Amino acid sequence: MSSRTDRNRVIVTAGGSGIGRAIVDRFVAAGAWVHTCDIQQKFLDDVIASHDRVTGSQADVGIPGEVEALVADALETMGGIDVLVNNAGIGGPRAALEDINYEDWDRTIGVNLNGMFYCIKNVAPHMKAQNFGCIVNISTASAKVALPMRSPYVASKVGVLGLTHTVAREYGPFGIRCNAILPGLIDNDRGRGIVANQAAERGISAEEREAEFLEFISLKCWIDPSEVGDLAVFLASDAGRHITAQEIGMDGNVEWEI
């Protein structure tokens, strides 16, 4: 992070667990103040208790009023907002498109895409007023290769890329940058659980399903959540001050998904 204290005020959505928690941890390690949110109070309480520079709000980013309250809380506790990391997202249903009900489709788009719009809409005026800001949107490597049986998730995350490019163009003249990170196979409980569940569904071992995933990753690697956090910190730092409108893979190059 920059040593300038006015660039160290960060919002991270869904920062209580998973990738979001790793992003919070890495920003704090870099000297930032972080205001985070989570839909589950127990996760929120844990991350707040773990750092003396973290505050938080319970919020569902898919609900505009709760995002408005989140941003108001962040402004009150930090005095401003320099960085927004739009991390909150859900996996949505895993089914053939024709079998997905309307409610599940709407909820996935509502959290994964609309939620980012709500956050940017409420943060942008404050970034414009200071003529500085960095927005990092978390998409997915699946947005590049598509993924059968996950149409609402992929559609929402492809939408994030379009939103990223548009925000970068619209707000660049105000000193605001916007980039997207596309994580790959994440080495945490959720990522390992996905592999195990899919293996069980297909009647194969977790090791066999893991090998299938890794076959189509050029570097044959899992991604530690902290790597995504480190990339977000870099993008928000002075070293990344001329990087905007980019889709940056943190995935070992996912070539395809099955």
Q: What pTM did the predictor assign?
A: 0.96
CB of 143 closer than 8 Å to CB of 157 = yes
Please indicate whether residue 153 is annotated as part of the active site.
Answer: yes
Instruction: Read off the pLDDT band of 67 (50, 70, 90).
Output: very high
Cα separation of 239 and 241, whole Å? 6
CA distance 256 to 236: 30
**Contact present, 66 and 18 (Cβ < 8 Å):** no
**List of E strands, the chain:** 9-12, 33-38, 54-58, 83-86, 133-138, 176-183, 247-250
Tokens of 257: 């998904």
Map out the domains of the chain as residue ranges. 5-186+224-250
- pLDDT for res 1: 44
Over residues 172-196, the pLDDT tens digits come to 999 999 999 999 999 999 999 999 9
| Contact criterion met (CB below 8 Å) for 81 and 75 | yes
pLDDT number for residue 7: 61
Residues 6+ apart with CB under 8 A from 165: 245
Residue 151, φ and ψ in degrees, nearest 5: -60, -45
Tens digit of each residue's pLDDT (9 = 90 or more) over 147-177:
999 999 999 999 999 999 999 999 999 999 9
Question: Which residue out of 102, 118, 153, 171 is catalytically annotated?
Answer: 153
Instruction: Please determine, for residue 3, whether its predicted confidence score (pLDDT) is greater than 50.
Output: no
Q: Higher-confidence residue: 1 or 28?
A: 28
DSSP secondary structure letter of residue 8: -
d(CA 181, CA 216): 19
Q: What pLDDT is recorded for position 258?
A: 84
User: Region 197-209: what's the mean pLDDT?
Assistant: 96
pLDDT of the residue at 4 = 40
> 186 - beta bridge partners?
223
Pick the CATH number of 5-186+224-250 from 3.40.50.720, 2.40.10.10, 3.40.50.11030, 1.10.10.10: 3.40.50.720
